[in-house]
């Protein structure tokens, strides 16, 4: 491909905004410019002005001139994890706590703060009361035009709610093509395995975000979909040649850049075909971030690192060196360093020694300021707290999300024609909640919604939860009692959760499901299974007679699954991935 003379600038500014960028750049001191490259985090808790936590945030703004903050949900306790909140146990934050804290920090900052968040499935993914949408793979299961429409609407609604809280940059959409069933970190976060379909949905997301006046971020460049190592825990290596990377991994990113993407997040992954330097992740690779992304692909927007607290890089270098290497490679914003003050000082020392030039830093600062002006921060940085309840959440936004949850449900097997379930409303139902492992569910709670929703349709429900901790004697009891019921309904919950390092259902639980398939067949008892979370679980449960996929595991998904089983909503989802030779991408059974 021919090299471009200069990257394309995706930020369209009027004359007044252009003047503000130039004037602000001229007024910033060298240290203030360095600060613009640092994005630490905070959690959406209430903070007293007279607290260690708020004092630290104040120092980051006033002494280290940070360019913005990354907004997490809440945690317990929040103050002890301000500088390294990581990806540990997180609960939902509150809209007013997040918005009020952002306003306080904006008021004390010389340059307006450009704030970021991981709202991959809507603001409700992190903030209670906001709208939550299905995981991206669920959105990818919604057929053709409806999928594009709903992804666009998801992005627009997410943008509106996010901006109402004072967050201008969303780290979504995930542009990774998930073509590795053993991928423990992307999985249901991807739209699917087809690069063209992923690219189309990425484009729809960018369009919706733009309509809501938010900066969307395509990630994780140059493609994290075909790894079997979680970069929160280790350093993945992708060994494909450049031709394969161009055809699969890079295609959605290239299309996203062509469609005006304003931000890209770099991945902590090694790609020898793009950079032969040993053990050099994309985060630290100038051939990848500058030569490929900036020069060849013509990207002129913001480049963010992924979280610098992730083990893939945090175990490799100090916070000081990590920040310097990322900026040298072509990153504009160093995100979520384990020590943002050390990151600042590392860049400061590199500038003093000549390792980094002032011109290099000025280029990044200019892009940061242009991004800030593009979302109007040069005109208005404080948000209207009184407007939050009328913008965040609400029935209209929720209706769009519920439509998406319902349309994503995919029926991949129904050998005995048992979906929808037609047993009498007074029939006895055995309900099994089958968990990969019982701990670490964070804001999810398996079957919390499924059980009461099932009981609304069939009052006589016996509920049993099993997991890899359940004794064999209890599993045998389940086998023994199953034939006594008029129907057996099972929900299987298997996570692909960042940082867990797990991806499977225990062998005894797999054996239980296979035994139940035989037992219910012999006794002519309907047996319907819904897979929540990792859809690849289906590939080693071929004996099950009826299987629905949801690609998610939260309350709205459970509600949609029960409605589908009860015949109250049509089923029309299509597999966005291949599970077996018989269950290939694009397959799905319809139920009106």
Q: Is residue 580 part of a domain?
A: no
Q: Is residue 448 part of a domain?
A: yes
From the list 118, 176, 230, 306, the catalytic residue is 306
Task: Give the CATH number, domain containing residue 325.
Answer: 3.20.20.300
C-alpha–C-alpha distance, residues 174 and 389, integer Å: 29
Global pTM value:
0.95
Judgement on whether residues 379 and 461 belong to the same structural domain of the protein: no
Judgement on whether residues 427 and 310 belong to the same structural domain of the protein: no
HSE (side-chain half, CA atoms, 13 Å) at 391: 22
Task: Give the CATH number, domain containing residue 432.
Answer: 3.40.50.1700
Q: What is the Cα gyration radius of the chain? A: 24
Judgement on whether residues 233 and 339 belong to the same structural domain of the protein: yes
pLDDT in tens, 508-565: 999 999 999 999 999 999 999 999 999 999 999 999 999 999 999 889 999 999 999 9
Q: Is residue 589 part of a domain?
A: no
Strand partners of residue 218 = 264
Judgement on whether residues 345 and 247 belong to the same structural domain of the protein: yes
From the list 224, 232, 378, 397, the catalytic residue is 232
Question: Is pLDDT above 70 for 424?
Answer: yes
Predicted pLDDT at 233? 75
What would you measure as the largest C-alpha separation in the chain, in angstroms? 80
The arithmetic mean of pLDDT across residues 564-574, rounded, is 98
Q: In total, how many domains does the chain have?
A: 2
**What contacts 454, CB < 8 A, 6 or more positions away?**
429, 431, 461, 489, 562
Question: Is pLDDT above 90 for 111?
Answer: yes
Q: Is residue 2 part of a domain?
A: no
Judgement on whether residues 453 and 507 belong to the same structural domain of the protein: yes
C-alpha–C-alpha distance, residues 346 and 326, integer Å: 11
pLDDT in tens, 142-171: 999 999 999 999 999 999 999 999 999 999
Query: Coil, strand or helix: which one is 72?
Result: strand
- Give 82's pLDDT tier (boundaries 50, 70, 90): very low
Judgement on whether residues 298 and 419 belong to the same structural domain of the protein: no
State which of 369, 385, 401 marks the end of a domain: 385
Q: Is residue 256 part of a domain?
A: yes
- Cα distance between the two ends of the chain: 48
Structure tokens at 574: 């299509």
Predicted pLDDT at 464? 98
C-alpha–C-alpha distance, residues 17 and 9, integer Å: 14
| Mean pLDDT over the full length of the chain | 94
Q: Is residue 314 part of a domain?
A: yes
CA 154 to chain centre: 13
Residues in the chain: 592
Predicted pLDDT at 496? 79
Q: Is 232 a catalytic residue?
A: yes
Q: Is 306 a catalytic residue?
A: yes
Predicted pLDDT at 78? 38
Judgement on whether residues 551 and 492 belong to the same structural domain of the protein: yes
CA 280 to chain centre: 24
Q: Is residue 179 part of a domain?
A: yes
| Domain hosting residue 509, numbered range | 409-565
Q: Is residue 401 part of a domain?
A: no
Judgement on whether residues 341 and 446 belong to the same structural domain of the protein: no
Judgement on whether residues 426 and 506 belong to the same structural domain of the protein: yes
């Amino acid at each position: 491909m021919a090299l471009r003379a200069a990257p394309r600038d995706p930020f369209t500014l009027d004359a007044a905004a252009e003047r503000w960028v130039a004037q602000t750049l001229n007024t910033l001191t060298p240290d203030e410019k360095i600060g613009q490259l640092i994005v630490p985090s905070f959690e959406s808790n209430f903070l007293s002005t007279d607290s260690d936590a708020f004092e630290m945030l104040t120092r980051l703004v006033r002494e280290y001139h940070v360019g913005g903050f990354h907004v997490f949900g809440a945690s317990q306790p929040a103050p002890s994890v301000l500088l390294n909140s990581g990806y540990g146990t997180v609960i939902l934050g509150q809209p007013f706590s997040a918005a009020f804290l952002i306003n306080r920090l904006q008021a004390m900052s010389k340059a307006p703060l450009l704030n970021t968040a991981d709202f991959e499935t809507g603001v409700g993914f992190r903030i209670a009361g906001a709208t939550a949408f299905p995981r991206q793979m669920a959105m990818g299961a919604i057929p053709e035009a409806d999928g594009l429409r709903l992804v666009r609407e998801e992005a627009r609604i997410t943008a509106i709610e996010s901006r109402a809280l004072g967050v201008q940059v969303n780290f979504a959409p995930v542009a990774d093509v998930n073509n590795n069933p053993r991928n423990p970190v992307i999985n249901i976060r991807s739209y699917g395995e087809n690069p063209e379909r992923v690219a189309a949905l990425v484009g729809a997301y960018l369009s919706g975000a733009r309509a809501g006046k938010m900066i969307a971020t395509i990630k994780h460049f140059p493609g994290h979909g075909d790894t079997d190592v979680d970069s929160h825990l280790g350093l993945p290596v992708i060994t494909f040649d450049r031709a394969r990377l161009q055809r699969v991994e890079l295609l959605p990113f290239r299309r996203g850049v062509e469609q005006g993407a304003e931000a890209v997040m770099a991945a902590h992954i090694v790609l020898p075909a793009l950079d032969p330097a040993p053990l050099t992740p994309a985060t630290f690779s100038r051939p990848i971030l500058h030569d490929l992304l900036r020069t060849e692909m013509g990207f002129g927007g913001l480049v963010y690192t992924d979280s610098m607290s992730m083990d893939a890089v945090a175990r490799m270098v100090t916070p000081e060196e990590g920040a310097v290497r990322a900026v040298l490679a072509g990153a504009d914003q160093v995100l979520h360093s384990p020590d943002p003050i050390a990151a600042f000082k590392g860049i400061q020392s590199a500038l003093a020694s000549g390792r980094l030039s002032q011109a290099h830093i000025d280029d990044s600062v200019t892009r940061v300021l242009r991004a800030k002006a593009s979302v109007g921060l040069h005109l208005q940085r404080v948000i209207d707290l009184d407007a939050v309840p009328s913008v965040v959440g609400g029935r209209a936004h929720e209706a769009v999300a519920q439509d998406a949850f319902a349309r994503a449900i995919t029926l991949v097997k129904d050998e005995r024609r048992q979906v929808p379930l037609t047993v009498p409303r007074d029939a006895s139902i055995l309900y099994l909640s089958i968990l990969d492992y019982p701990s670490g569910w964070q804001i999810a709670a398996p079957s919390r919604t499924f059980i009461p929703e099932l009981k609304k349709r069939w009052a006589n429900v016996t509920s049993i939860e099993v997991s890899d901790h359940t004794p064999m004697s209890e599993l045998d009891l389940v086998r023994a009692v199953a034939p006594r019921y008029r129907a057996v309904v099972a929900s299987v919950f298997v996570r692909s959760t960042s940082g867990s390092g797990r991806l499977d259902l225990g062998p005894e639980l797999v054996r239980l499901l296979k035994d139940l398939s035989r037992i219910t067949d012999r006794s002519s008892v309907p047996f319907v299974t819904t897979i929540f979370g990792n859809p690849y679980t289906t590939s080693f449960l071929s004996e099950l007679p009826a299987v629905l996929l949801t690609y998610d595991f939260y309350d709205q998904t459970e509600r949609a699954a029960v409605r589908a089983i009860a015949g109250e909503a049509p089923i029309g989802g299509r597999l966005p991935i291949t599970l077996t030779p018989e269950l290939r991408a694009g397959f799905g059974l319809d139920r009106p």
